[in-house]
Amino acid sequence: MSRRKNAKKRILVADPIYNSVVVSMLINKILCNGKKSLAQKILYESIKKVKESIKADPLEILEKAITNATPIVELKSRRVGGATYQVPIEIKKERGTSIALTFLIKAARKRPGKSMITKLGNEIIDAYNNTGNSVKKKEELHRMAETNKAFANFK
Q: Which residue type is seen at 2?
A: S
Q: What is the pLDDT of residues 70-129, one digit of tens each?
A: 999 999 998 888 889 889 999 999 999 999 999 999 999 999 988 999 999 999 999 999
Decide if 117 contacts 49 (C-beta within 8 A).
yes
What is the tally of helices (H) and strands (E) in the chain? 6, 2
What domains, with CATH codes, occur in the chain?
A: 21-154 (1.10.455.10)
Which of 138, 5, 127, 29 is closest to 75 using CA atoms? 138
Neighbours of 118 (CB within 10 A): 15
Query: 38 pLDDT band (50/70/90 cuts)?
Result: very high
Q: Tell me the pLDDT band of 1, cut-offs 50, 70 and 90.
A: low
Q: What is the pTM of this model?
A: 0.89
Q: What is the pLDDT of residue 2?
A: 67
